[in-house]
A = this chain, B = another copy of it.
Amino acid sequence: MYLLMFAFASIGWVSAFTNCEESTVYGTAYKALFEHLGLNKTDVPKTHQLPYFMDPPTEVYVDLYVTSIIEVNEKAQSLSTQVKMMTAWINNMEWQYDQFCGIDAVPATKDMFWTPDIIIKESIKTEFGTKESPYLQLLWWDLSVSVDILALTTACKMDLYRFPFDTQICNITLHSAVHSIDELTIDPFSDNKNITHESKEFFQAQGEWELLSIDASKSNATLLDYLQDLLIYKITIKRRPLLYVINIIIPVFFFLVLDVMSFFIDASGADKLSFKVTLLLSISVLLLILNDTLPSTANAIPLIGIYCSVIFSLIGFSILETILVSFLMAKGAEKRSVENTAAVSGRDDIVRDLHNSPDSVRDQNGMQRSLCWIRVARIIDVTFLVLYLMTIIVFLTMLGKSWVSY
């Protein structure tokens, strides 16, 4: 299978024009080769067949380089790439290159030959990135070579659990449309290292995704009752998370910190509640933008969704606690103020009834009860703060662990 490749390397196309210095001679040789190969025919055969002159299966060699990642659509679970695909296969047209002025490769029109009917299983859309070349290259030792630049959109099962620290593996599966494994086999031309290396070299975009590796592997599938040969390219890409960290994770964390710190805002002040509700509003806006990028999945909700909605809920609960505490405070204050007004009115009436000793006793009782309310409120406040902090620490620790060491 790989023998072919080594053959390439060893021979190395000695494009020597040694014996054909004059251009006219070269032109004649070129013409002669064309006629020798039967490429000057005016009536092209309409029906192409598999090259049946040799032992089946016909061997097709493919190299697929991912030259650009155009778009990764998490909602539609599709991957748009620009790929460069080199296809080579054995034909029955060979010549002695030293007999034809050293011409070792000749271009020919695609229409004249059988070309492999390779289709991509995951493809939702296959378009030629640039205009399709009508030519293929014939090499002197039986090989036809065709190069295409394609804009592919392929379906790709994505796992967004660890978004935006995720790594996705998308397959591009090549197989013949109708031929069984007995008739046609598909093998990689270069080895995996080379493909990954060359893809990275060709790589033209510097967007959100980093190309980690491309791995070719063989498999087969059943069509009707016979087997088909599959060539699977595993494209491993890694998201660059920095902007999401800066734009979502850090702001939401900041809002959480502000919410924790808001415990130190004076509970009686009007600011505290509106401050907290504004935080809630800010997070709910962020939550909805998250809604735009992530699809709805049942199995495992992405960690960033958990992160945002748990922090949303935490702030929500802390608002409820604030309302409760300020309610208790208000109750206490109200009681006290009732006492006070009573006291004040008492002072007003000081002329009339000076000996109102039970009143002052009630006064002190009320004071105590009111202080009791306030004390309860304070205890609740502190207890909640401690629990709140502990919950946050536990939650963030667990989340961080599953985010990193999944």
Contacts and interface: CB of A to CB of B under 8 A. Distances in A.
B208 A297 contact: yes
Interface string A185-207: 00000000000000000001111
Contact of A56 (B26, B71, B130): B26
A279 interface: yes
A147 B178 contact: yes
Contacts of A121: 67, 130, 149
Interface stretch (A152-160, A375-383, A386-394, A395-403): A152-160
Interface residues of A, number: 150
Contact of A49 (B39, B131, B326): B39
A111 B134 CA distance: 12
A95 interface: no
B330 A159 contact: no
Contacts of A129: 123-126
A179 B278 CA distance: 65
Interface in A297-328: 297-299, 301, 305, 309, 312-313, 316, 319-320, 323-324, 326-327
Interface in A248-271: 250-251, 254, 257-258, 261-262, 264-266, 269-271
A323 to B, nearest CB: 5
Contacts of A136: 178
A295 B207 contact: yes
A312 B224 CA distance: 57
A290 B258 contact: no
A149 B133 contact: no
Shortest 6 CB-CB contacts between residues of A and residues of B: A133-B177, A23-B55, A243-B296, A240-B298, A123-B130, A77-B205
Interface of A: 8-9, 12-13, 15, 23, 26-27, 30-31, 34, 39-50, 52-56, 67-68, 70-71, 75-78, 82, 86, 105, 107-109, 111-112, 117, 119-131, 133-137, 145-147, 149, 151, 155-159, 164, 177-180, 182-183, 204-208, 210, 223-226, 239-244, 246-247, 250-251, 254, 257-258, 261-262, 264-266, 269-275, 277-282, 284-291, 294-299, 301, 305, 309, 312-313, 316, 319-320, 323-324, 326-327, 330, 343, 348
23 contacts: A27-B54, A30-B49, A41-B46, A71-B75, A75-B207, A77-B204, A119-B130, A120-B130, A122-B204, A123-B130, A135-B177, A147-B177, A157-B204, A157-B205, A242-B301, A243-B295, A251-B284, A254-B313, A258-B277, A261-B319, A271-B272, A278-B281, A343-B348
